[in-house]
Structure 1
Amino acid sequence: MNTTEIKKVRKGSSDKRAKIMAAARDLFLSEGFDRSSVDAVAAKAGVSKRTVYDYYGDKQNLLLAVVEETSGAVLDMIKQGISDYLSEFEDLEQALILFCEQFVVSANGSSDYSALIRLVTMEEANLPISFLENLDNSTEERLIRRFTEFGENGLLNVPDPELATKHFAALTFLMVFNQPTKIGNLHNEQTKRIITEGVRAFLRAYGQRAIYHKNEELS
């Protein structure tokens, strides 16, 4: 087999995987995991049932693959936000606000983010606890690393960067997403207020003022 033939085989394999993943995601979201059969996935993807099993083993592994692939888009949003706003800046408060605003806009415009939230919410019982924990860790990892660096540089007081990251998310973009009505449009003043006040609350707990206040108590 020559190089040209190998490339064609690999491309075909990639195409089939993409079709299977897209079909599985659509069915899991519309019908639910339990009501979606491998036969239905194969038919929607235009492949044989055997091909689905060959690629993913079983329906459980297919669900894990769908969630994992969908979470990749959320990771990309976080990476982009860190690159745009948390790598070089003059004002930490403003940088954190801009990071959250960009993430909210990206998430609200992303079918991947809404699909991830729905899949994890709908299929929590079918997802191993260890998998969900790893999913949380992977989405938080880059922010944890950045907050650790801020602590080392004296910008934050973060003895537990992982906990600080969870607090930051809970006070800002997660609070926006958890509102009873969809207010993610940044023209909405409520969204801006939640993010701004959430960042300020975070910095009161973990920022330089918290460091100075702690030092005053010890003196």
Structure 2
Amino acid sequence: MSTMVNLSRIHFPITTLGPGRRIGIWFQGCSIRCPGCISMDTWVQGRGTTAVDEVVQTVAPWLSTADGITISGGEPFDQREALFDLLVRLRARTDADILVFTGYPWTAICEALATSPSVIDAIVCGPFDIDETQTLALRGSDNQELHLMTPLGRARFASFERRMDERDRSFDVMFDDNGDVWLAGIPARGDFRRLRHILEGGGSTLGTSEDTRFPSL
């Protein structure tokens, strides 16, 4: 029987969460719930329940052309069994690199990673901290750590051990069947506020999934 997993969405291609054209898989449900998170819609548990087999079948047509796979959330490590089941199945089907984002600190996940070596090439770990600076590539706040786990991870992600620059100031735009628009990427502080002002200036409106308890964003 296939492991069950709660997912928010799947999209291909994305280009802003790692190098190249990537498959993006967002887990649904997060127990960490960092203040100021841009993805409050992924916090609620129990939505988007499906089988890991179904996820693999969905992404299978893209695997031959994808440069990498990025798994985010929500919080992937809240569904640890499903996460590693999915990772093992994907690793068996592709040579693309696998990047995982988690809000858990390294000390909380390193033991689990040691039991399944080589299924993750790179991992960004640590909670988003709204009070931290944001100067590093591929990270929402500078307390987050990028760990390169495999030779492939080091080859693909060593270039992200740098300060953020204009290459990182971009988003992928995704459209759902119901007309919702999703942005994939790592926004700088205030990006959503600036986007709202631009749209409202043109007569449009914007509703976001960010944690709006922090208007300085």
Please indicate the TM-score interval, normalised by the length of the shorter structure.
under 0.3
Query: What's the TM-score once normalised by structure 1's chain length?
Result: 0.25
Query: What's the TM-score once normalised by structure 2's chain length?
Result: 0.25
User: RCO greater where, 1 or 2, for CA within 8 Å and sep 6 or more?
Assistant: 2
Rg larger for = 1
More helix by share: 1
